[in-house]
Amino acid sequence: MRKIWLLTIAVFFLTVSETLAAGFNLKSIGNVSTDGKQISHWWYTSNQPTFRGEAGTGADVAVDIDGTTLQVSTDSAGDWVFTPTTSLTDGDHLVTLASSGSEIKFTLTIGAANVDWNAVQAGTGEALPTVGIAWPTMALLGMAVFFLLSGARVIR
């Protein structure tokens, strides 16, 4: 019976369709939460957004905006905060965040004129695609529960 439990747990962890970040991520741009998503394009209306994230305790985070790199350190909880020293111009900016071998790259579009406000208010626009599929995980979990409840034994 113990082998079935171990096998079920192993199968579950091997088939989970969501990958959790390993300690380095961007939590927000200004007052916009990233919800842990790493997408290739973000929009923000203010010309001086504050970036917030997390990394290893005491780690350095390199923030590169359009080829200008500055470095910040995390606090005792592993949180970091960066606000550009000068305002960013309206338009697209290439942002790269790096810490301990991990890297997050995205385009940041600055300025209220760069947003289609009619589409935002109407709730229309392009939706992000679904990442991964859950049915293999659910099928394997269902099979494991079935075998456990039916009293199946491991073949030796």
- Residue ranges covered by each domain of the chain: 1-17+132-156, 21-127
Chain segment 107-144, per-residue pLDDT in tens: 998 987 766 666 655 554 454 444 455 667 777 778 87
Q: Can you read off the two tokens belonging to residue 151?
A: 């009293």
Strands 51-54 and 91-99: unpaired
Q: How far apart are CA 95 and CA 46, in angstroms?
A: 16
Paired with 43 in beta bridges are: 109
Write the DSSP symbol of residue 87.
Answer: P
Provide the CATH topology of domain 21-127: Immunoglobulin-like (2.60.40)
Chain segment 53-102, per-residue pLDDT in tens: 999 888 999 999 999 999 999 999 999 999 998 999 999 999 999 998 88
Count of Cβ atoms closer than 10 Å to residue 88 Cβ: 18
pTM: 0.60
Count of Cβ atoms closer than 10 Å to residue 121 Cβ: 8
Query: Ramachandran region of residue 9, left (φ > 0), alpha (ψ -120 to 50) or beta?
Result: alpha
- The per-residue pLDDT for 37 is 81
Chain segment 31-54, per-residue pLDDT in tens: 888 887 888 888 888 899 999 999
